[in-house]
């Protein structure tokens, strides 16, 4: 099932968005929304129908989709026609990346009720076959008479892949007083693809930060030119994501991957994330083997005077000034020791990837002669501070005064 949606944005300029299909849990209040798309196979120009039920206001939607054009020739083009988007998404952003291209041009035209017609055109040349455009801080609403992505293809390439990601929160548009909310919770959208004969569109969606959909619609009769990824990790049972889509635990074979540059991520509790960009081709299987590193942080520590021994959890790790690396997340005991000075001890808490920078630690001499009315604390807040005891000072003054009385 698949939904396809498009959007553009305000004189702040605007956005293009495309949609998806699924059964999904939406909204901060965890209200259920059902979104379906039919059919799962179309010819160019055929209508795709998207039915949405229960999409509540304040739902945060992040949509990713990719348009794969098979055998485009020297030029590529895809259009979305007939799209009307009856809800409003605020704080919206849009990103598009074309692969295997030389020149690129995106054209969007948006008509919003009780608002002006908005237009956006952006073009540019690819670098090493890749071109990216980003637009943010806008809204998504209304009808879209023009949504077009076009350009020229790298010599020798047999496909073009367009990766699109957009984000927004369903709520009323403050710039349109007539809007009292983000639009209906239930609605239907109909639109079509044109401009290419054969390809496919793959859709994924996140709702409130949770991956909820991975689906695909076929356009025409493309030749099967997908690739395969085989993903392993040490230790195993790491969660696998390809271009932000969850595929299960390692070891994992992922088939039907569109050719191009894909982002692979593997995550496991207690270990740092592994992220790699890999080139997927239609020939053979691309293997990715990840050795996961235990999640660690570091502690930057210095002292006055310097060259004090540093102990972490009673283990000598070096002398000041130094950075203690490879520290596991959690609570630890840090101690400084130096001949002729009082030991310094404190507790620290480390999180994954954090560098904790301790304030300069001033060590107190162990043989510091006592002074009447003064005590010396082991203070690490930027210097040690003597504390005055008025009663002790007064007692000593009176004792001396008694000795000289007549």
Q: What is the pLDDT of residue 288?
A: 94
Q: Which residues are registered as beta bridge partners of 185? A: none
Q: Which residues are registered as beta bridge partners of 122? A: 106
72: left (phi over 0), alpha (psi -120 to 50) or beta: alpha
Q: What is the pLDDT of residue 387?
A: 54
Q: What is the pLDDT of residue 403?
A: 52
Could you report the per-residue pLDDT of 270-290, keeping only the tens digit for each?
Answer: 888 999 999 998 877 899 999
Q: Measuring CA to CA, which residue among 204, 194, 218 is closest to residue 262? A: 204
Q: What is the pLDDT of residue 365?
A: 92
Distance in Å from the first CA to the final CA of the chain: 108
Helix (H) or strand (E) holding 397: helix 390-403
8 Å CB contact between 51 and 4: no
Q: What is the pLDDT of residue 277?
A: 93
Residue 40 carries which DSSP code?
S
Q: What is the pLDDT of residue 393?
A: 59
Q: What is the pLDDT of residue 132?
A: 92
Rounded CA gap, 366 and 376, in Å? Answer: 10
Structural domains in the chain, CATH included, are: 22-219 (no CATH), 227-291 (2.60.40.1120), 297-391 (2.60.40.1120)
CA distances from 69 to 101, 175, 233 (A): 12, 38, 33
Residue numbers of the chain with a pLDDT score lower than 50: 1-31, 376-385, 404-406
Q: Measuring CA to CA, which residue among 314, 283, 319, 312 is closest to residue 298? A: 312
Q: How many CB atoms lie within 10 A of CB 269?
A: 8
Q: Measuring CA to CA, which residue among 249, 282, 275, 341 is closest to residue 100? A: 282
Q: What is the pLDDT of residue 337?
A: 95
Q: What is the pLDDT of residue 155?
A: 93
């Amino acid at each position: 099932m698949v939904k396809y949606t498009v959007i553009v944005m305000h004189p702040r300029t605007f956005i293009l968005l495309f949609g998806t299909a699924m059964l999904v849990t939406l909204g901060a209040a965890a209200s259920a929304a059902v979104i379906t798309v039919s059919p799962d196979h179309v010819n160019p120009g055929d209508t795709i129908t998207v039915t949405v039920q229960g999409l509540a206001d304040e739902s945060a939607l992040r949509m990713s989709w990719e348009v794969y054009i098979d055998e485009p020739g020297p030029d590529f083009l895809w259009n979305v026609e007939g799209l009307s988007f009856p809800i409003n998404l605020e704080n919206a952003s849009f990103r598009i990346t074309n692969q295997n291209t030389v020149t690129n041009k995106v054209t969007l035209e948006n008509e919003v009720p009780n608002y002006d017609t908005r237009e956006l055109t952006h073009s540019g040349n690819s670098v090493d076959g890749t071109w990216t455009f980003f637009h943010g801080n806008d809204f998504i609403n209304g009808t879209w008479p023009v949504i077009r992505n076009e350009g020229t293809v790298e010599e020798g390439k047999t496909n073009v892949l367009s990766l699109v990601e957009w984000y927004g929160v369903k709520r009323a548009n403050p710039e349109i007083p007539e809007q009292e909310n983000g639009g209906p919770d239930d609605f239907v959208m109909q639109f079509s693809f044109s401009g290419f004969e054969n390809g496919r569109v793959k859709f994924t969606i996140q709702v409130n930060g949770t991956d909820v959909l991975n689906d695909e619609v076929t356009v025409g009769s493309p030749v099967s030119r997908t690739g395969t990824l085989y993903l392993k990790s040490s230790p195993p049972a790491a969660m696998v994501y390809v271009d932000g889509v969850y595929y299960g635990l390692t070891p994992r074979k992922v088939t039907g991957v569109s050719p191009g540059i894909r982002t692979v991520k593997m995550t496991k509790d207690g270990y740092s994330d592994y992220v790699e960009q890999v080139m997927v081709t239609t020939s053979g299987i691309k293997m990715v083997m990840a050795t996961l590193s235990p999640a660690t942080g570091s502690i930057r520590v210095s002292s006055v005077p310097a060259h004090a021994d540093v102990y972490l959890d009673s283990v000598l790790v070096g002398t000041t000034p130094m950075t203690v690396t490879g520290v596991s997340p959690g609570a630890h005991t840090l101690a400084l020791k130096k001949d002729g000075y009082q030991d310094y001890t404190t507790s620290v808490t480390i999180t994954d990837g954090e560098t904790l920078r301790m304030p300069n630690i001033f060590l107190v001499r162990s043989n510091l002669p006592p002074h009447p009315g003064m005590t010396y604390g082991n203070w690490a807040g930027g210097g040690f501070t003597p504390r005055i005891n008025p009663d002790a000072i007064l007692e000593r003054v009176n004792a001396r005064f008694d000795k000289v009385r007549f």
